[in-house]
Amino acid sequence: SNMMLRKIITTYEPGFLRSVLFWSSVLAFAYFTAFAETLTISSFPYYSFEDRYMAYTVGSAFYGIYFIVSFPAFFYEFQPANLDKKEEWMSLWNSFVSSCGHGMMIMCLLDFVRLGLGIDLVVGS
């Protein structure tokens, strides 16, 4: 994902269309990655799905939410903070705080999707 996003950023001029290409690539690649992982794990003998179609379609879309946040996060994490000065990298503390923020973004997106689908939150039994 980093190579794809870096190619988009370095090849095209900044603007609305580059942003649309960037985010549509993130969304498409996130779903593709989630689907590919779901498909490959389905042949593992210790995993089974009640409804394979639901696991491949809805499950992959739900799992793709993790990648929607993590692909841009890793892209921006592993580059200099100031592109004009190559020696300025993100500090360990900034990486930690950024990771906590990305985790919260993922949790919120998962919860928004759950609420949008009308699924009740059940904790415990």
pLDDT band at 84 (very low <50, low <70, confident <90, very high): low
Tell me how many degrees the CA angle 102-27-13 measures, rounded to the nearest 5. Answer: 95
Res 64: pLDDT:
94
In order, the DSSP letters of 10-57 are: HHS-SSHHHHHHHHHHHHHHHHHHHHHHHHHHTTSTT---S-HHHIII
Res 86: pLDDT:
56
* Mean pLDDT, rounded, of the chain: 87
Task: Name which residue leads in pLDDT, 22 or 55.
Answer: 22
What is the tens place of the pLDDT at every residue in 110-125? Answer: 999 989 989 888 888 7
Res 67: pLDDT:
96
Task: Give the residue-averaged pLDDT of 54-70.
Answer: 91
Res 121: pLDDT:
87
